[in-house]
Every structure is written in structure tokens, then in C-alpha cells.
Structure 1
Amino acid sequence: MITVPKLTLDDAKIILEGAERKAREIGVPMDIAVVDDGGNLLAFHRMDGAKITSIDIAINKAFTAAGARKATHEYAEIAQPGGPAFGIH
């Protein structure tokens, strides 16, 4: 049997803290979503001043990253118009 480590709520809180720290560092208030390996939401944090339209985007990006086992920034090139992943969301 293979044992797979799972994110806990405590892990998700650490991730949220790090993401908020980075967002403050770059001066961009963000909506931050953390999901488990099945794409299920574990934690969500909306910073003061974050765009309300980014709530669903953050959750969907986290879901996509979990489902594809790939960081969403890796989609940047292939998600451009004409690329094989254009229009994913």
C-alpha cells in the first residue's frame, strides 16, 4: 500500500500565511484558495481590498492545479489565444 500525505487544515493555514505575505510584499491584495489533492477547498482567505471577481478565479485556479498536478503558471503559454489550453477556466 502506498501512503500519500494529505494537506491538513493546519497546513492550509501555513500556505495562506505565506501567500498573504507574498501578496503584501508585491503590494497586491489577493483572494487565496487552498485545495486538497482532489481539488476540494480546504481554506480560503480574502485580503482587504482584493477584487470580489477573483474569489471564483482563485478557487478554480487551485482546483485546476490540483486536478492537473501542475502549477497554473505553467499554463501561461499554452492558454494564450491559439494555444491548446486557450479558454480553460
Structure 2
Amino acid sequence: MLTKSVLTIAEVTHILEAARAEAERSDWKVAIAVVDDGGHPLALLRLDGCAPIGGYIATEKARTSALGRRESKVYEDMINGGRTAFLSTPLSGTLEGGVPVVVDGQVVGAVGVSGVQAAQDALVAKAGAGAISG
């Protein structure tokens, strides 16, 4: 039988703190979502001033990244590159800003961020994921 690492509340809190610090450094009003490796929500933090839809979009970006085992930007790039059939998949967070959390070469979850420009969302998500990825 195989064993795997899982995110605990300690790691989730650390991820949120790192992502929040990155967002606040630039005064970005974002929502930050953390999901497990199956895309199930573990935490959501919507900073003051972030639109309510940010929480939904951040969660979907994180879910897409966790289930796909890659950054959500990969799917956005495929669609923008002409593979429009990919729009029929059951994923709704196919925008930049979802980043997997990788521990010992395995995806254990993902971080999704929404609220500012796509590259800025990704920067915040990477700061969160990078807080424990190894």
C-alpha cells in the first residue's frame, strides 16, 4: 500500500499567510483558496475590498490546478491557442492563478487566487504554494 502526504491545518495556515503577505505587499485585494489533492476546499480567505465573486473564482482555479496536477494557466494557454474543445471539460477555473502544492514530487493540493490581473493572481498563488512545496 502506498502512503502520501496530506495538507493539515498547519500547512494550510502557512500557505494562506504567505499568500496574504505577498498580496498585501502590493495592496492587492484578492481571494485566496486552498484545496486538497482532490480539489476539495480546505480554506478560503477573501481580503477586504475583494469582490465576492473572487472567492468562487479562486476556489475553481485551485480545484483545476489540483485535479490537473499543473498550473491552471496551462489550460488557459491551450484554449487561447485554439483548442476550444477544451471548453467542454467540467473544469471552470481554466484561468491563470491556480498553482499546485507539491511535496516530495507529489501534488498534495493547490492554491487559487483571484482579484487582480492574472499574472498577479499567479504570483500570489505561487508565494502560497512555495511556502511548503519542496
Q: TM class by shorter-chain length?
A: 0.7 to 0.9
Aligned length, in residue pairs? 89
CA contact (8 A) 1:36 1:42 kept: yes
TM-score by structure 1 length? 0.86
Moved over 6 A (4+): none
Structure number with the bigger relative contact order (C-alpha 8 A, sep ≥ 6) is 2
2-structure distance, mates of 1:56, 1:81: 25
Matching residue of 1:50:
50
Q: Superposed, which structure 2 residues align to 1:28-43 within 5 Å?
A: 28-43=28-43
Give RMSD over aligned pairs. Answer: 1.8
Q: Which runs of 5+ in 2 are unaligned?
A: 93-134
1-structure distance, mates of 2:80, 2:26: 25
CA contact (8 A) 2:32 2:45 kept: yes
TM-score by structure 2 length? 0.59
CA contact (8 A) 1:35 1:42 kept: yes
Letter in 2 for 1:49: G
